[in-house]
Amino acid sequence: MSSLPDPGSRSLPDARTGALADLPQMSLLDHLDELRRRIFHSLIALIVACGVCWAFVEEIYAFLEQPIRPYLPEGTKLSYLGPADPLMLYIKVALLAGVFLAAPVLLYEAWRFVSPGLYPRERRWAAPFIVAGTTFFLGGGAFAYYVAFPFAVQFLLGIGEQFQAVITIERYFRFLMTVILGLGLMFELPIVLFILSAVGLVTPGFLIRKFRWAVLLIFVAAAIITPTPDIVNLCVFALPTIALYLVGVGAAALVHRRRKPPPGPDAQPGPGAQV
């Protein structure tokens, strides 16, 4: 007599062997509790990272000020209007640097949240996921700092060169923060597609079929974080992200191929199959 299945788990075929593997089932309240736990751990990591960055906040700000420095008259500094502006600036600088410092922990917590829905074989991808996600995020920030932001600054100040620029620290850093965080998040697109494919929400074929819509959404997102309406700056932000979308399609194809049970008479039926 066959035993009844454990109500707290469901059997799914292993991606490599086709053998059944038990995946835990979680209720909506369990998911919400897990989400709360991961958000709490992420906030703690972010607070600690911001505290570390606060000790070097003046050095970090000096680094972030470099893209605008060649366009300021010699001996001048950025301005501020309110007495609390410098303090708020340093808080934002520490927060921005803290996000990049805490990126591995934030990605680890994201992985812990989605990993219960993965096969046992796929749960071993945690380290590559964290390394790749951190690399893409840092790469997006570096691309913004060294390429996109200086290009935008040169373009904007070139348009207004017949005027006297009075650039405040609040507006400069808000502009810089939008570009760096925006591109850092957009460069995470391959990781997002990897996760969606790993949990079975998208397939490589679906991503290819929706490529035109993806390009449209990428250009819309680029237009939001792009400081100017010109097509050149827009392409500087959008084209690398489109390339990363294709990288994400490749990652989804890798996940899909490893998830698919091998064909044959001994292969086990997939989830939801009628027996």
Tokens of 151: 């290009």
Residue at token pair 């998911």: 31
Which carries the bigger pLDDT value, residue 4 or residue 158? 158
CB 256 within 8 A of CB 12: no
Q: What is the pLDDT of residues 12-41, one digit of tens each?
A: 444 444 444 455 566 677 778 888 888 999
pTM: 0.76
Total tally of structural domains belonging to the chain:
1
Residue 269 lies in a domain: no
Q: Could you tell me the CA-to-CA distances from 78 to 75, 161, 163 in Å, in that order? A: 10, 17, 16
Q: How confident is the model at residue 263 (pLDDT cuts 50, 70, 90)?
A: low
Q: Could you tell me the CA-to-CA distances from 112 to 43, 125, 174 in Å, in that order? A: 15, 11, 32
Tokens of 67: 């893209």
Residue 85 lies in a domain: yes
Give residue 239's domain range.
26-259
**CA 17 from centre of chain:** 32
**CA 248 from centre of chain:** 12
CB 271 within 8 A of CB 11: no
Residue 106 lies in a domain: yes
pLDDT at 24 (0 to 100): 56
pLDDT at 267 (0 to 100): 46
Q: Give the whole-angstrom CA distance, residue 204 versus residue 248.
A: 9
Residue 95 lies in a domain: yes
Q: Give the whole-angstrom CA distance, residue 198 versus residue 24.
A: 16
Residue 3 lies in a domain: no
Pick from 139, 229, 214: which is nearest to 180 by CA? 139
**Stretch 203-219: mean pLDDT:** 90
Tokens of 187: 């460069």
**Stretch 188-214: mean pLDDT:** 87
Which carries the bigger pLDDT value, residue 9 or residue 228? 228
Q: Give the whole-angstrom CA distance, residue 135 versus residue 274.
A: 43
Pick from 213, 177, 210, 196: which is nearest to 251 by CA? 196
pLDDT at 29 (0 to 100): 77
Q: How confident is the model at residue 260 (pLDDT cuts 50, 70, 90)?
A: low
CB 63 within 8 A of CB 100: no
Residue 267 lies in a domain: no
Strands 9-13 vs 20-24: parallel, antiparallel or unpaired: antiparallel
Residue 13 lies in a domain: no
Q: Give the whole-angstrom CA distance, residue 122 versus residue 105.
A: 19
The letter for the amino acid at 64 is L
CB 198 within 8 A of CB 255: yes
**Stretch 127-149: mean pLDDT:** 90
CB 52 within 8 A of CB 102: no
Residue 268 lies in a domain: no
